[in-house]
Amino acid sequence: PYLWGGRTVMGCDCSGFIQTVYALHGYRLPRDVSQQAECGAAVDSRAAVRCGDLGFFSRGTSGVSHVGMFISPHRIIHSSGWVRIETVDDEGIQTGTGRECSHRLCFIRRIAG
């Protein structure tokens, strides 16, 4: 389940989930989403996405507040309520049957090779 500041089986938040996944593959990332957003190299477009690239998102008018990991140019795994795989397009993460945008895509970063 979602747990702000969490990164255990008891619960995790978006940046804790990403930090844990990357750590399992030998990469050290900072804990906070704003710090993770400064890591790696920019990816120009969603069409250039590789599995493992990180998408950074906002909700409303605030700055970057959410991170997820692309598993394809159209799918992302992230922790939002629980860890889940959802569709993503140029607007952002599309949630539910009504295809509502839950998080707006700001930019994409590549951490690994």
Of 66, 101, 103, 106, which one is the catalytic site residue? 66
Of 12, 14, 39, 51, which one is the catalytic site residue? 14
Of 51, 78, 101, 103, which one is the catalytic site residue? 78
Is 39 a known active-site residue? no
Is 74 a known active-site residue? no
Greatest C-alpha distance within the chain: 38
Is 106 a known active-site residue? no
Would you please indicate which residues are annotated as catalytic (active-site) residues? 14, 66, 78
